[in-house]
Amino acid sequence: MAKEGKKKSGTSTRAWEAPASQLLRVGSDFSIGSFDAAATPGWSGGEKAALKRMKDVGEELSELQERLFAEGKHGGTRSVLLVLQGMDTAGKGGIVRHVVGMVDPQGVHHRSFGVPTEEERSHHYLWRIRNALPKPGKIGVFDRSQYEDVLVVRVNRLVDGDPWPERFGEINDFEREVAESGTVIVKCAMLVSPDEQLRRLEERLARLDKHWKYNPGDLNERENWDAYMAAYEDAIRNTSTDWAPWHAIPADNKWFARLAVSELLLEALQGLELGWPAADFDVAAEQSRIAAAKDAARRGVPSMRLQG
């Protein structure tokens, strides 16, 4: 008899008032002006309890990711895509390191999107996004995404006219197609306050080990803060759909943002109700072969050919 190798994922202590997906989900009435980036909505436990909860979430995430990976290896078609959008210093990198970093890197497909290359520019803006979608069994992570094309491109007027309503429609259709093909999409807008951003930029300058993260161009982005916020609000309002809803993550407290995204990822994986793939071989017969090999080894028979 083969036994269950690991305990089935279950619940662990939590101080959430409701599932994070409900608490953080935003839609067509989202108002960035009244958003508090320093809040910890629905979490009453404080930082210490959050770090403890992160450990439990990490264990569950790790097991569920392995189940997803195993399913992908056995003909499954499902995957998860975590989309991270945010201004510089909002903590996207920290999410990749501290949240996604809790699972086996073999099962993660990470992609960041910078200024489009010449080749990318010669295609539709969704071309590079489509090419980066996670394969079955994987957790895809987009550090920036298709939304750059309705954010930075909009604020800096990098295309003519007013194509935003049309682009929102295109993105919604694209995401629907991705969701219908078996990818659960988890979209997180990491929203940091301008004061906290300034503090983080200052810290980057003050510390030798952070200089590599500092980019003088980041201040230009900051100069257009209001235009960016308006673009974020419009994008979120128009692209938060049933198949790919937006979550607004208050990002001034790194510990809260990391916990919140961990919970969203966990909920996405739990929703897949992942099992372990059944063996496509005769387990009892293989156990007999192993028993025979052990017996041979004990008797000192050098390299017994296993029957099978």
148 or 263: whose CB is closer to ligand ADP? 148
Contact between 113 and ligand ADP per CB under 6 A: yes
Task: Count residues near ligand ADP (CB under 6 A).
Answer: 12
The contacts of residue 77 (CB under 8 Å, 6+ apart) are 136, 181, 182
Out of 63, 66, 71, 88, which residue is the one contacting ligand ADP (CB under 6 A)? Answer: 88
66 or 170: whose CB is closer to ligand ADP? 170
Contact between 116 and ligand ADP per CB under 6 A: yes
Closest CA to 76 of 279, 282, 274: 274
Residues 282 to 301 in contact with ligand ADP, rule: CB under 6 A: none
Contact between 119 and ligand ADP per CB under 6 A: no
Is residue 79 within 8 A of residue 110, CB to CB? The reply is: no
CB of 186 to ligand ADP, least distance (A): 19
How large is the greatest C-alpha to C-alpha distance in the chain, in angstroms? 82
54 or 236: whose CB is closer to ligand ADP? 236
Q: In angstroms, how far is the first alpha carbon of the chain from the final one?
A: 19
Contact between 41 and ligand ADP per CB under 6 A: no
Contact between 149 and ligand ADP per CB under 6 A: yes
57 or 90: whose CB is closer to ligand ADP? 90
CB of 11 to ligand ADP, least distance (A): 35
Torsion angle, CA of 238/242/244/249, rounded to 10 degrees? 80
> Measuring CA to CA, how many Å separate 240 from each of 129, 167, 177, 184?
18, 14, 15, 14
Label residue 260 exposed, middle or buried (CB < 10 Å: 0-12, 13-18, 19+): buried
Q: Which stretch binds ligand ADP (CB under 6 A): 151-159, 169-177, 244-252, 274-282?
A: 151-159
Strand 25-26 relative to strand 79-86: parallel, antiparallel, unpaired?
Answer: unpaired
Q: Which residues bind ligand ADP (CB under 6 A)?
A: 88, 113-116, 144, 148-149, 152-153, 158, 215
